[in-house]
């Protein structure tokens, strides 16, 4: 799993090599390939969309399948030679289709003998709607990451526990240590997938409208069409205790997280709109 | 495109037939198959994730590819016998990979002679994080739709215009009629894909925590772990005019849309948390 133990020529210098698979062709300037640009987008997106090929034993094999899943990047085997490369951990129900496929096809369809089923993971943060004078110049501000890799079911218990804690705390910081520790049956019912990333890239758009030169000469039209950016962001609302909750008041780690998330999201989307 | 002109046995009674492709297996009660439950999720999601198979002429054919795209459901050919079935329209750059593939493979890989390349469209709205007493009972409130179908490039000019207006106004209501009408070059540079849906379903989770019975007996533990729902929603911020904007003030249709969207999103996520 660590970059020094797998033969992989696609990574170098703390980033992914540009290949036909991951290169951003449209608006090349928006493409980013460094780990430090790709991973934070995957970690910040609350939902990851994961695509895999349909199962050959089913009627409708022709279609790819997308599952929305929870997950984040991680690196279980800390390696002194690690150049910062990480895997993606996902969790889901242990007998779900993607888990069954990953178990059944430990080494199918893949490149360079890597294990697991080929998947694509997409993380998208939408930061605003860019309204230009004409609809064909409309755009969005966004941060998007896409990763291609091989998904395997993790069987090693320490790595499974590492991933469960990682995914829980990636969504709600410090949550794991403030809950009742799962029992054996509960741990068994949770499947963990690790995706060893073969290739990845990010694409980011920030800034105000881009207009056609001709349009800027047409002042009559410009007084009639509003042009600008409507920032957008995901926010968390006031936490609502369950009817069965007995904890008095609200824990600080949840209050702080909601407040910090909301402030950061508002600031980022407003700044992106003003660039 | 209309349901009466294509031979398709998979739809009936204003909904999609349950097959191995679209049936929700985990938490069956959350599955929905009626058009009226599937389409609004696709239309409300600002970003759709679209998966297709990699191109055989590229190195890394093994991987499915996900693109985040803008789009919504629509029905160009109104048919008196229409049972409410719709297609999905997506727009993108005319020479992007998915457009090229859809053009090159008008009838590949598909079922029952339908045209286009097989794709999966996923729409996910996240409504909250459900924090139970133990992490393995954590969950999310969400509305998710997945549709499988065949994507074709639309060449018919009236249908292309219909789709461009539809997609623009689905994102920002009434925007199309308040902008400068696109010229011929601009229209040509925008590609429109139509996905004729073969199968689809929705999955919805709303409500408070679900706890293990044993946990509810442990009052000491319950006073130590906060349990409840943190609602989440996408909101739009204060629109920021472009430096080149000459429209005086803010148009009412934008102000109204932002206000209504934000109110509706807050109400839905709070209600879902309290169920």
How far is the C-alpha of A220 from the C-alpha of A203, rounded, in Å? 35
pLDDT band at B109 (very low <50, low <70, confident <90, very high): very low
How far is the C-alpha of B120 from the C-alpha of B50, rounded, in Å? 6
DSSP 8-class letter at A18: P
Q: How far is B80 from chain A (nearest CA, A)?
A: 30
Other CB atoms within 10 Å distance of the CB of residue A104 = 12
Q: Residues for chain B: how many in total?
A: 275
Q: Best mutation site among B17, B52, B91, B136 for testing chain A: the one with the most A CBs within 10 Å?
A: B136
CB B31 within 8 A of CB B203: yes
Q: Give the pLDDT confidence score for residue A35 in this predicted structure.
A: 95
Q: Give the pLDDT confidence score for residue A109 in this predicted structure.
A: 45
Is residue A132 in a domain? yes
Give the CATH number for residue A186: 2.30.110.10
* A161 reaches B (C-beta below 8 A): no
Tokens, residue B16:
């999609």
Its ipTM equals 0.91
Q: Is there a contact between B244 and A222 if contact means CB atoms under 8 Å apart? A: yes
Hey, which residues does B233 pair with through a beta bridge? A235
Is the alpha carbon torsion for B150, B42, B142, B233 positive or negative? positive
Q: Is there a contact between A247 and B222 if contact means CB atoms under 8 Å apart? A: yes
The 10s digit of each residue's pLDDT in B31-57 is 999 999 999 999 999 999 999 987 665
How big is chain B by its Cα radius of gyration, in Å?
22
Q: Give the pLDDT confidence score for residue B100 in this predicted structure.
A: 73
The 10s digit of each residue's pLDDT in B115-144 is 789 999 999 999 999 999 999 999 999 999
Q: Is there a contact between A240 and B254 if contact means CB atoms under 8 Å apart? A: no
Residue A18's domain comprises: 11-274
Element (H, E) at B221: helix B219-222
Q: Best mutation site among A53, A120, A135, A143 for testing chain B: the one with the most B CBs within 10 Å?
A: A135
Q: How far is B153 from chain A (nearest CA, A)?
A: 17
Instruction: State yes or no: pLDDT of A108 exceeds 60.
Output: no
How many domains are there within chain A? 1
* B271 reaches A (C-beta below 8 A): no
* A234 reaches B (C-beta below 8 A): yes
The 10s digit of each residue's pLDDT in B142-189 is 999 999 999 999 999 999 999 999 999 999 999 999 999 999 999 998
Percent of chain B with pLDDT strictly greater than 90: 72
Q: How far is B5 from chain A (nearest CA, A)?
A: 22
- Single out the residue of B48, B24, B199, B14 nearest to residue B110, CA to CA: B199
How far is the C-alpha of A79 from the C-alpha of B50, rounded, in Å? 36
Q: Is there a contact between B247 and A222 if contact means CB atoms under 8 Å apart? A: yes
Other CB atoms within 10 Å distance of the CB of residue A31 = 17
Q: Is there a contact between A247 and B258 if contact means CB atoms under 8 Å apart? A: no
Tell me the average pLDDT across B69-86: 87
**Look-up of token digits 């297996």:** B25
How far is the C-alpha of B21 from the C-alpha of A62, rounded, in Å? 10
pLDDT band at A23 (very low <50, low <70, confident <90, very high): confident
Is residue B17 in a domain? yes
- Single out the residue of B92, B129, B156 nearest to residue B228, CA to CA: B129
Percent of chain B with pLDDT strictly greater than 70: 87
Tokens, residue B265:
């999103």
């Amino acid at each position: 799993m660590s970059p020094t133990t797998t033969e992989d020529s696609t990574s170098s210098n703390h980033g992914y090599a540009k290949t036909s698979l991951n290169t951003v062709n449209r608006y090349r300037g928006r493409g980013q390939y460094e780990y430090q640009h790709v991973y934070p987008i995957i970690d910040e997106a609350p939902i990851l969309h994961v695509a895999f090929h349909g199962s050959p034993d089913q009627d409708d094999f022709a279609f790819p399948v997308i599952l929305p899943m929870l997950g984040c990047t991680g690196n279980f085997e800390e390696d002194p030679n690690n150049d910062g490369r990480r895997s993606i951990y996902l969790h889901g129900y242990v007998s779900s289709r993607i888990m069954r496929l990953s178990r059944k096809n430990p080494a199918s369809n893949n490149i360079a003998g890597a294990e697991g089923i080929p998947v694509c993971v997409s993380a998208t943060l939408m930061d605003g709607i860019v309204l230009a004078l004409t609809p064909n110049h409309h755009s969005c501000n966004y941060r998007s990451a896409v990763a291609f890799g091989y998904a395997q079911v993790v069987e090693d218990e320490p790595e499974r526990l590492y991933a469960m804690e990682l995914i829980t705390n990636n969504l709600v910081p410090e949550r794991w240590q403030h809950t009742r520790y799962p029992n054996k049956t509960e741990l068994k019912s949770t499947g963990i997938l690790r995706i060893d990333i073969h290739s990845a890239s990010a694409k980011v758009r920030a800034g105000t409208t881009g207009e056609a030169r001709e349009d800027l000469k047409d002042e009559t039209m410009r007084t009639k069409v509003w042009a600008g950016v409507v920032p957008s962001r995901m926010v968390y609302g006031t936490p609502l205790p369950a009817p069965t909750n007995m904890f008095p008041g609200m824990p600080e780690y949840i209050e702080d997280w909601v407040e910090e998330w909301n402030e950061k999201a508002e600031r980022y989307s407003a700044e992106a709109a003003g660039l």
